[in-house]
Structure 1
Amino acid sequence: MRRLLERFDRAFFAEAPAERLAILRLLVGGFALVYLCVRAVHLQRVGHLPPESFRPIGVVSALSAPLPLWAVRGLVAAAIAAGAAFVAGYRFRALGPVFGALLLWVLSYRSSWGMVFHTENLLVLHVIALALAPAADAYALDARAARRAGAAPPEPDGRYGWPIRLLCAITVIAYFIAGITKLRNSGLAWATSDILRDIIAHDNVRKLALGDTHSPLGGALVRYPFLFPPLASATLALELGAPLALFSRRIAVVFCGAAWLFHLGVLLTMAILFPYPLLGVAFAGFFELEKMRDLRRPRRAGPPPASRRGGEAPLGRRS
């Protein structure tokens, strides 16, 4: 047991560069900030809904009645301002957790009116994890201020590694829970029957009836029942096998690619958009992002072949 804990400690708290964690802050925080700005009008519009439609969930369950419109608008504006500070890495120790809390509240409040938006869950968890980490020690206003004060650039350290592993763990657990839920609700029939086909057909028929955006491709594919058991089996294998991505970089790459294709399939067959994973931001923690800088640097030409006349050893094995 002790050896197992030691191995876990070495893996989870393995050293990582501050730049990698900072890039994750920029990507995840930047996505959250843009998402809030794009959805700002919609997020405030819930303040006009009838009070009897209010069904608080999560942290919003502390409320017994809806907030006044001015409070809803103020919280959305505060979340956007805190998000800008989060991305810039400004006073991150204080404003990072503030942004995490405001994002959780604003999106939970929007989901407290009869329709829960599951597409936002992973984003919120990632933001909260980064908000509690030293994610502004590079590529941040805080980092620039520290350098001006004479602080040395941060070396790779375990304190930059554990938040990255936590983001990856949150990601695979989210998919694993989805797989377990399928088994609890349908058992192995999910992979062997027409359940997936029925879900796609029902979703598109409902959207057609409501005049909502539907998927013509999904409607066409339901005519071919033999397609869906293999697709359902692949989905279940992806979700139940997601935790394996934590133990192998190659498996992680396969998992990220398969999960991206899964969300692309959901978009094409059901017109349901999961922008966070489709843009790849949800899987960024699995990659060594700081090495992207090396891809942009031109390769230097190597030295000319060594000359025997100059007294240098020839290319190949050196004595």
Structure 2
Amino acid sequence: MAAVKRWLFEPVPRGRIAAFRTLVYLFVVADLTVITPWVRTHAHVPGDLYQPLLVGRILPLPTPTPLLVHAIFWILLVTSLAAATGRAPRVLGWTVFALYFEWMIIAMSYGKVDHDRFGFLVALAVLPTVGRARHGDTTRTEAGGWALRVTQIAVVCTYFLAAIAKLRFGGLDWLTSSVLARAIIRRGTDFADLIAQVPYLLIVAQFGIVAFELLSPLIFVLRDRWRHAGIGFFYTFHLFTYAAITISFAPHLVAMASFLPLEKVRPIEWLKARRGERAAAQT
């Protein structure tokens, strides 16, 4: 148990938390305005078409109305921008999580449920527990380590449970089915058309996808260097997926950044250094 506790609460630099927090909250803004702006159209959908997810029935949550949808949109937009600065991390963090959670209930209660939001929702839920974190701070925090670890577990569960679902509902026949072929016919790109012309390549790809998803938990037993390479493979997998059938998994990719040493990415300091170099060159 002690080893498990050390693993779950492995300390990380506060700067990593600050960077991840900024990335997550800025993505909420991008999601609202660019990635899934269609959620706002549910404000004008008749209430009798609203079939809330189980959690929406248990709580229970209200049927979306124009006032509710637009109010959540604007409040969430403003609070996410504020939360990205790192100020009032608990108050703003919990507010963003609650509003985005309701936003996802509104989005997914009309017949379409995306599984790329799980890890991202977990990240929103655990980030407020960390407290203050400043960019560039090398002080290590166990609370931050736990928040990132829980997010990582959610990311890996997204892969592993996707494979379980494929085998549960499609059986072994899923591996040799025409799932990818149908996806390419429905939303494939020119790149996908090239792939589809190679005999048996789609079947091999389906075996590879299930194997990759089932083996994804092994990412936790790899050393740092190989773990980062493995995460690079995960991102490459999604790059090819988007190139072939235009499915981006954007929120999942943001949550997956919890594996990365984000504290090393410090754009503000880089910009200051560049400005200093330009000023020195002009004198």
The alpha carbon displacement at 1:87 in A equals: 0.7
The residue number in structure 2 matching 1:37 is 33
Are residue 177 (structure 1) and residue 161 (structure 2) matched?
A: yes
**Higher helix content, 1 or 2:** 2
Are residue 240 (structure 1) and residue 237 (structure 2) matched?
A: no
Alignment deviations for residues 271-301 of structure 1 (CA, whole Å, 9 cap, x no partner)? 2222235xx5332221222234599689xxx
1:21–1:237 Cα change, 3 Å: same
Q: 2:263 aligns with which of 279, 290, 295?
A: 290
Are residue 27 (structure 1) and residue 11 (structure 2) matched?
A: no
The alpha carbon displacement at 1:107 in A equals: 1.7
Are residue 99 (structure 1) and residue 96 (structure 2) matched?
A: yes
Question: Tell me, which stretches of 5 or more residues in structure 2 are unaligned?
Answer: 275-283
Q: 1:263 aligns with which of 223, 233, 238?
A: 238
Q: Percent identity?
A: 24
The residue number in structure 2 matching 1:146 is none
The alpha carbon displacement at 1:131 in A equals: 2.6
In 2: Cα distance, 1:267 partner to 1:283 partner:
16
Question: Tell me, which stretches of 5 or more residues in structure 1 are unaligned?
Answer: 141-152, 208-212, 299-319
Q: 2:11 aligns with which of 9, 15, 26?
A: 15
The alpha carbon displacement at 1:69 in A equals: 0.8
Are residue 159 (structure 1) and residue 134 (structure 2) matched?
A: no
Query: Which amino acid in 2 is paired with 1:94?
Result: V
In 1: Cα distance, 2:195 partner to 2:127 partner:
41
In 2: Cα distance, 1:67 partner to 1:190 partner:
37
Runs of 4+ in 1 over 4 A off after TM superposition: 62-65, 293-298
Report if aligned partners of 2:159, 2:216 keep a CA contact under 8 Å in 1: yes
Q: SS of 1:241's equivalent?
A: helix
Q: 2:181 aligns with which of 201, 216, 220?
A: 201
Scaled by the length of structure 1, what TM-score is found?
0.74
- What pairs with 1:70-149 in structure 2 (closer than 5 Å)? 70-134=67-131, 136-139=132-135
Alignment deviations for residues 189-212 of structure 1 (CA, whole Å, 9 cap, x no partner)? 444x2x2xx12332344x4xxxxx
Query: Which amino acid in 2 is paired with 1:202?
Result: R
The structure whose Rg is larger is 1
Report if aligned partners of 2:23, 2:254 keep a CA contact under 8 Å in 1: yes
The residue number in structure 2 matching 1:49 is 45
Report if aligned partners of 1:24, 1:284 keep a CA contact under 8 Å in 2: yes
The alpha carbon displacement at 1:11 in A equals: 1.9
* Number of residues of Structure 1 aligned to a counterpart in Structure 2: 269
In 2: Cα distance, 1:268 partner to 1:253 partner:
22
1:202–1:20 Cα change, 3 Å: same
Query: Which amino acid in 1 is paired with 2:11?
Result: E
CA-atom RMSD, angstroms? 2.8
Query: Which amino acid in 1 is paired with 2:140?
Result: P
Higher relative contact order (CA 8 A, sep 6+): 2
Report if aligned partners of 1:242, 1:255 keep a CA contact under 8 Å in 2: no
Report if aligned partners of 1:43, 1:76 keep a CA contact under 8 Å in 2: no
In 1: Cα distance, 2:170 partner to 2:121 partner:
28
Query: Which amino acid in 1 is paired with 2:230?
Result: F
In 1: Cα distance, 2:114 partner to 2:158 partner:
15
The alpha carbon displacement at 1:177 in A equals: 0.8
Q: SS of 2:134's equivalent?
A: coil
The residue number in structure 2 matching 1:221 is 195
Alignment deviations for residues 233-291 of structure 1 (CA, whole Å, 9 cap, x no partner)? 221222111111122224422331222222122222222222235xx533222122223
In 2: Cα distance, 1:99 partner to 1:168 partner:
20
